[in-house]
Chains A and B, each alone.
Chain A
């Protein structure tokens, strides 16, 4: 035997169905209401009541957390009834559904970009609306997400540095790019600091002949940092890095001197044994193609 709901569902009494659907909606029985709204939205096409019905329909989907379909229904409502009193809310909800579908920063951010576009469009259409204020707030949240992503992905290269020395260089580049992409990124200070650290690690793990130049680049980054942030919470750590860089340079100079001395001795020995003629000036070290010391 069919339930009352099933009987109603199968019947053709649209007026009664409409009433029942709204009753169910108000009773928060959204999944049942949805069944009726879906059915009715076909039958009411082109009729006067369709406007109210479609708005209910979109809201039901929203309540059921089917944000993808809800977004579509809100948007098509706003497009079909631009003069409706609910049009503003529908536009807002359509954008808000995108916002809700924006995933955590470590996943693909396609919906985040779409949400920002939709919210911005809403602000442009209804600049004086109360909702424009919250839309702006959501945009800020979403932009924050994109900043998080840029920051974390750049920092990853520093974290994974021990697996491959080139990751340190990659970290410096990625951090710079993130700052270029998001000029007002809220991690700017930390990123500048991490750049010094990455460059220092890069220099430290390079082959001796390349080290000095790379240390000097780190020093440049340090000077820039102290000029930009005279009172930073990273100041102490940065100073520590600075002294590490200095001792690194000193050590490298010593290392290179010893190396050159050894080289000279070896040449001397070759000359003595007559294996090499005086005219040939030996190059001290041959630059390696990879430029990197494998650790």
Chain B
């Protein structure tokens, strides 16, 4: 065979006998913008170096130059040999470099998304390859969005900002976003095409009446949904079902057809279910928990749910074991035998040892002290490992409000040698303090508010300057301060403090709060005849504790409260000058199983409150029939009953339904004394506290009606509005949809229907005779500002005497008590 050789300039370069040469020089040709010296350096074929020909060095030189990505072509020639000296010539074809791609004909959001995918293209040379890859990326992206017939043509222009660079302009003609005319199925026997289309969900077949919704075709979704459709068939017992082939073809400019070829297979049923490896639980118990009978329609999905469960409530095989210490429990359902239409399943179980909790540690608490979290942890050393407790603990750490719920991660670390498990809870602190700073109109004047809430306060470090960052923090106590004033006319200051584990031994919360406020005419001082004022002072002490019975979601609290009302020439009240005292005790029992305080998606909240004053009229020997109002109301007496129930449920996807019913009743001990002028309910509007605290009224929001306008039927409008009413009821049905769910903010939109009313006498009370409204709104929760809301409601029922009370109403709300009355 002929020797492979290369003839250059009459010299043979024989691959079998390479020879060493000295480089006499390297010449670069074909460059326009690039520096020749640099290219020679890059090629490593410098003058004076030695080189073996043929050899590695030349190949390496070409490789290196290619790797720069600057050239369309690189050639290495040997110009000449002079004895043992070689002269190289490197011939390059320089191409302009891409500085950016300018996409035209697409929307801004699409442009950003495509741009991101194209990102690494800049700096490359502009050639056919670039056009092809770019087109492929753009078309793929648009295809996923439903644009099937995209056309792209390119033009280039020089980039004025940098040498030898061009801007590539891609003119995209998206064409129409296609819809689906027909979806046809072949190979289906037991399932009708209509049923299959339903399983597919999206895309939907074109129909003239479907003018709204997802008629548009998204390739991306289609790919997802066709898998879902098949798994739906599996769920129905057709375990062999398969999509053999599917094709999408053009129907016309705006529409495509889809054809799907299915293999349905036959319908299978569960046969014998046997258990292997179970020692702790008998087959009988396991079968009961599994609750799948012989003859049930076969579905792997159902089997999986029964084994691994979905919720934390258990009822599945996995929880049965993992809630009883079997942390390393494992189950493998094996289809042992398939005959005719029956599938026998053997559950192969590995039970493993029963683990006991050992070390419980906390990590990541850079602000909050250990004990604040540790005392809430339900998995305790010495207990059997319990997965439900673990999950519940994560939720309760979240409920403390100091940590990012989504970043609370429990890590169980089993030690198989001694059957113990160490659990580490990793948390991440989040800002939990709130500030309310507002200026607005109230009572026709500018009013300023400053409110501060510290949710992780530490009272014992108040005098320890080292703990200030910027305030003493870390003990999980809550301190809030609020001041509101518009100068002389109105001032209100309040303070509250609460401690979740009073005394440190039991989860008994202790709270103390106080307020003082003043409203006056603002003119002159008390000697002026037109001067009037009302001053309120109040202090409340409360104790609350969590109960373990009937279940551990219950909470019981007691509060003792004292209020003083000092009136001087004050108009519009039962008496104008005098002092009134309200001394009351309230008891509250509540059950809160909501899964999150801000945006609950499941669970409920129930609350029942009784508040009562001593029955002074029984023993104070005042003749109430003849006594003046001033004497009558010196010691105000009443009893008050309130009930609130909220219920949350996730329905289909992200939607959450909230249902709420409230009821309040204010009664008197003695008909001679009459109903209390204090503590009444005012229904309607945004429920925000304004000047209405004056009689200790409770404000109940009801959207679609102006503030305090839902008054009893037949009542004197102005009187009923100022005094409030003793009985109310309210119902809310709300659909919510989350828009943002992140650590920085939670936001959701909502649509609501509400109904509610007030009554003067219990005899008139009719819970079905209500004023109604509907509307939409949005809420955003920002960690530092609290909850901000806006609603638009439309009230259907006119209120006699108050023509502006109903119809369209906007409501703004700030930092309202979450889920409060």
Q: When the two chains form their complex, are residues A107 and B505 in contact, meaning their CB atoms are under 8 A apart? A: no
Q: A107-B474, A160-B375, A162-B505 are in contact. Are A152 and B383 (CB under 8 A)?
A: no
Q: A108-B365, A163-B507 are in contact. Are A157 and B380 (CB under 8 A)?
A: yes
Q: When the two chains form their complex, are residues B371 and A156 in contact, meaning their CB atoms are under 8 A apart? A: yes
**In the assembled complex, A153 has its CB within 8 A of some CB on chain B:** yes
A106–B474 Cα distance when bound, in Å, is: 9
Binary per-residue interface labels of chain B (359-370) against chain A in the complex, 1 for a CB within 8 Å, 0 otherwise? 110111111111
Q: When the two chains form their complex, are residues A152 and B370 in contact, meaning their CB atoms are under 8 A apart? A: yes
Q: When the two chains form their complex, are residues B370 and A153 in contact, meaning their CB atoms are under 8 A apart? A: yes
Q: A106-B370, A177-B358, A177-B359 are in contact. Are A159 and B382 (CB under 8 A)?
A: no
Which of A34-42, A60-68, A126-134, A165-173 makes up part of the contact surface? A165-173
- Which of chain A's residues have a CB closer than 8 A to the CB of B359? 174, 177
A257–B367 Cα distance when bound, in Å, is: 54
Q: When the two chains form their complex, are residues B365 and A159 in contact, meaning their CB atoms are under 8 A apart? A: no
Q: A103-B366, A166-B383, A170-B382 are in contact. Are A153 and B474 (CB under 8 A)?
A: no
- Which of chain B's residues have a CB closer than 8 A to the CB of A153? 370-371, 374
Q: A106-B369, A152-B370, A153-B374 are in contact. Are A174 and B381 (CB under 8 A)?
A: yes
**In the assembled complex, A149 has its CB within 8 A of some CB on chain B:** yes
Q: When the two chains form their complex, are residues B370 and A107 in contact, meaning their CB atoms are under 8 A apart? A: yes
A157–B380 Cα distance when bound, in Å, is: 9
Q: How far is the CB of A241 from chain B (nearest CB, A)?
A: 19
Q: How far is the CB of B394 from chain A (nearest CB, A)?
A: 18
- Which of chain B's residues have a CB closer than 8 A to the CB of A162? 505-506
A294–B363 Cα distance when bound, in Å, is: 32
- Which of chain A's residues have a CB closer than 8 A to the CB of B374? 153, 156
Q: When the two chains form their complex, are residues B381 and A177 in contact, meaning their CB atoms are under 8 A apart? A: yes
Q: How far is the CB of A63 from chain B (nearest CB, A)?
A: 19
Q: A166-B383, A170-B380, A170-B382 are in contact. Are A106 and B507 (CB under 8 A)?
A: no
Looking across the interface, which residue of chain A has its beta carbon closest to that of B383? A166
A156–B375 Cα distance when bound, in Å, is: 8
- Which of chain A's residues have a CB closer than 8 A to the CB of B363? 108, 110
Q: When the two chains form their complex, are residues B370 and A149 in contact, meaning their CB atoms are under 8 A apart? A: yes
Q: When the two chains form their complex, are residues A159 and B504 in contact, meaning their CB atoms are under 8 A apart? A: yes
Size category of the B interface is 20 to 34
Q: When the two chains form their complex, are residues B548 and A294 in contact, meaning their CB atoms are under 8 A apart? A: yes
Looking across the interface, which residue of chain B has its beta carbon closest to that of A294? B548
Q: When the two chains form their complex, are residues B369 and A107 in contact, meaning their CB atoms are under 8 A apart? A: yes
Q: How far is the CB of B358 from chain A (nearest CB, A)?
A: 7
Binary per-residue interface labels of chain A (138-171) against chain B in the complex, 1 for a CB within 8 Å, 0 otherwise? 0000000000010011001101111110110110
Q: How far is the CB of B499 from chain A (nearest CB, A)?
A: 14
**A107 contacts which of B360, B365, B380, B501 (Cβ < 8 Å)?**
B365
Q: How far is the CB of A68 from chain B (nearest CB, A)?
A: 13
- Which of chain A's residues have a CB closer than 8 A to the CB of B501? 160
A103–B467 Cα distance when bound, in Å, is: 10
Q: How far is the CB of B38 from chain A (nearest CB, A)?
A: 22
Interface centre among A162, A163, A172, A294 (most CB of B within 10 A): A163
Binary per-residue interface labels of chain B (363-405) against chain A in the complex, 1 for a CB within 8 Å, 0 otherwise? 1111111110011000011110000000000000000000000
- Which of chain B's residues have a CB closer than 8 A to the CB of A156? 370-371, 374-375
- Which of chain B's residues have a CB closer than 8 A to the CB of A106? 369-371, 474
A173–B548 Cα distance when bound, in Å, is: 24
- Which of chain A's residues have a CB closer than 8 A to the CB of B370? 106-107, 149, 152-153, 156
A211–B467 Cα distance when bound, in Å, is: 44
- Which of chain A's residues have a CB closer than 8 A to the CB of B368? 107
8 A Cβ contacts from B578-636 to A: none
**A173 contacts which of B365, B371, B382, B467 (Cβ < 8 Å)?**
B382
Looking across the interface, which residue of chain B has its beta carbon closest to that of A174? B381
- Which of chain B's residues have a CB closer than 8 A to the CB of A104? 467
Binary per-residue interface labels of chain B (750-762) against chain A in the complex, 1 for a CB within 8 Å, 0 otherwise? 0000000000000
Q: How far is the CB of A146 from chain B (nearest CB, A)?
A: 12
Looking across the interface, which residue of chain A has its beta carbon closest to that of B367? A107
A170–B504 Cα distance when bound, in Å, is: 17
Binary per-residue interface labels of chain A (162-204) against chain B in the complex, 1 for a CB within 8 Å, 0 otherwise? 1110110110111001000000000000000000000000000
Looking across the interface, which residue of chain B has its beta carbon closest to that of A111? B366
Looking across the interface, which residue of chain A has its beta carbon closest to that of B377? A170
8 A Cβ contacts from A237-295 to B: 294
**A169 contacts which of B362, B382, B548 (Cβ < 8 Å)?**
B382
Q: When the two chains form their complex, are residues A167 and B362 in contact, meaning their CB atoms are under 8 A apart? A: no
Q: When the two chains form their complex, are residues B382 and A166 in contact, meaning their CB atoms are under 8 A apart? A: yes
- Which of chain B's residues have a CB closer than 8 A to the CB of A166? 380, 382-383
Q: When the two chains form their complex, are residues A108 and B366 in contact, meaning their CB atoms are under 8 A apart? A: yes
A208–B380 Cα distance when bound, in Å, is: 22
Q: When the two chains form their complex, are residues A108 and B382 in contact, meaning their CB atoms are under 8 A apart? A: no
A152–B372 Cα distance when bound, in Å, is: 13
- Which of chain A's residues have a CB closer than 8 A to the CB of B360? 174
Q: When the two chains form their complex, are residues B504 and A160 in contact, meaning their CB atoms are under 8 A apart? A: yes
A161–B506 Cα distance when bound, in Å, is: 8
Q: How far is the CB of A83 from chain B (nearest CB, A)?
A: 34
A163–B377 Cα distance when bound, in Å, is: 12
Looking across the interface, which residue of chain A has its beta carbon closest to that of B371? A156
Looking across the interface, which residue of chain B has its beta carbon closest to that of A168? B382
A209–B474 Cα distance when bound, in Å, is: 42
- Which of chain B's residues have a CB closer than 8 A to the CB of A173? 358, 381-382
A154–B366 Cα distance when bound, in Å, is: 20
Q: How far is the CB of B464 from chain A (nearest CB, A)?
A: 10
Extra contacts besides A108-B365, A156-B371 (6): CB < 8 Å: A107-B366, A157-B380, A160-B375, A163-B505, A169-B380, A174-B381
Residues of A within 8 A of B (CB): 103-104, 106-108, 110, 149, 152-153, 156-157, 159-164, 166-167, 169-170, 172-174, 177, 294
Some 11 contacts from A to B, beta carbons below 8 A apart, are A107-B370, A107-B474, A108-B363, A157-B381, A160-B501, A162-B505, A163-B506, A170-B383, A174-B359, A177-B359, A294-B548
Residues of B within 8 A of A (CB): 358-360, 362-371, 374-375, 380-383, 467, 474, 501, 504-507, 548
A-B pairs with lowest CB-CB distance, top 5 = A173-B381, A106-B369, A170-B380, A169-B382, A170-B381
